[in-house]
Amino acid sequence: YEMSGRISLSVNQLTEEKQKLLDAIDRLRELEQQQKQFIGNISHELKTPLTSILAYADLLEMYRDDPALLEEARGQISQEAQRLYRLVEKALQLSSMDIYEFETHAEHVNLMPILQEAAARLEAKAEQSGITLQTSLSEGKVWADPENLMHMILNLLDNAIKYNRPGGTVTLANEADRDSQGHDRMVIKVSDTGIGISDEARERIFDPFYTVSSDRSRVHGGTGLGLSLVRNLAEKQHGYVDVAETSPNGSTFVVTLPMERPQSQKVHSVEESS
């Protein structure tokens, strides 16, 4: 009896192990597919600036005796090379998160100093663009990886400056509240007085490589990777990011993060609780 009991237990275990293996294979297939798609997208994106650089490099020879044209070509090469650099940098960040199980080193951190530093880092950029950067911060701790968090806020502030109007304002604020299931969470808001986001675009701005108006984004050296990176980071930290409001007079991006170490459930977005 004991013997057969033991055998049936191990058969159960075998079935379980087999299912785990099958699940792992499915997951690997899925990852492989994502990886192929990612490489396809990135290769396409890298080709555009490279084509410009090659074209201007050829023109340098023709422009040899014309300092103004030479300067223009140099400027274009430099601008496109910077775009390439940003693309590669963001692609590396994204790929390391998607392909390997990206590790976040979450801890109980004070939010205010991180937000203050993020704002300070972009102060000069805002000023150069004629934008007022203001903060409305309150004390509180979140359960997050400080480096990832900094990265997310910098990305959102950078967009709020880039897609603003001259003379506009960017506001960084935070406030503690509770989600529909009673979990304490921190809500961080980045608002701008910019061009707003259409309903159609709203669904897609978090997709990798998506940019609303390629012209405007290109002027700013956009890669369409920033927001997908932010969403990825937020979700890895049991949080969420979304556009809370948008109108022709500006948009508000909202990040929610748990204040305590999560049991594993996701913190719900602001809309879900109201």
Residues that bind ligand ADP (CB under 6 A): 159-160, 163, 192, 194-195, 197, 205, 210-212, 217, 222-228, 251
Cα–Cα nearest to 204, from 157, 256, 150, 243: 243
Q: Which is nearer to ligand ADP, 171 or 174 (CB)?
A: 171
By the 8 A CB rule, do 219 and 211 touch?
Answer: no
At its nearest, how many Å lie between ligand ADP and the CB of residue 208? Answer: 8
Q: Which is nearer to ligand ADP, 211 or 258 (CB)?
A: 211
Q: Which is nearer to ligand ADP, 182 or 248 (CB)?
A: 248
Give the span between the Cα atoms of 257 and 169, in whole angstroms: 25
Q: Which is nearer to ligand ADP, 224 or 258 (CB)?
A: 224
At its nearest, how many Å lie between ligand ADP and the CB of residue 163? Answer: 3
Cα–Cα nearest to 255, from 145, 143, 108, 156: 156
Give the span between the Cα atoms of 138 and 173, in whole angstroms: 8
By the 8 A CB rule, do 253 and 189 touch?
Answer: yes
At its nearest, how many Å lie between ligand ADP and the CB of residue 143? Answer: 25
Give the span between the Cα atoms of 255 and 269, in whole angstroms: 8
> For the chain, where are the alpha helices, taking DSSP H only?
2-62, 67-98, 111-128, 146-162, 199-202, 214-219, 226-236, 270-273
Structure tokens at 137: 């911060």
Helix (H), strand (E) at residue 188? strand 184-192
Task: Measure the CA angle with vertex 147, ends 27 and 104; round to 5°.
Answer: 30
At its nearest, how many Å lie between ligand ADP and the CB of residue 185? Answer: 22
At its nearest, how many Å lie between ligand ADP and the CB of residue 62? Answer: 33
Q: Which is nearer to ligand ADP, 73 or 205 (CB)?
A: 205
Q: Locate tokens 């994502």: which residue? A: 34
Q: Which is nearer to ligand ADP, 106 or 255 (CB)?
A: 255
Cα–Cα nearest to 131, from 225, 220, 256: 220
Q: Which residue is nearest to ligand ADP (CB)?
A: 222
Q: Which is nearer to ligand ADP, 73 or 195 (CB)?
A: 195
Cα–Cα nearest to 142, from 11, 9, 17, 267: 267
Q: Which is nearer to ligand ADP, 63 or 209 (CB)?
A: 209
At its nearest, how many Å lie between ligand ADP and the CB of residue 248? Answer: 11
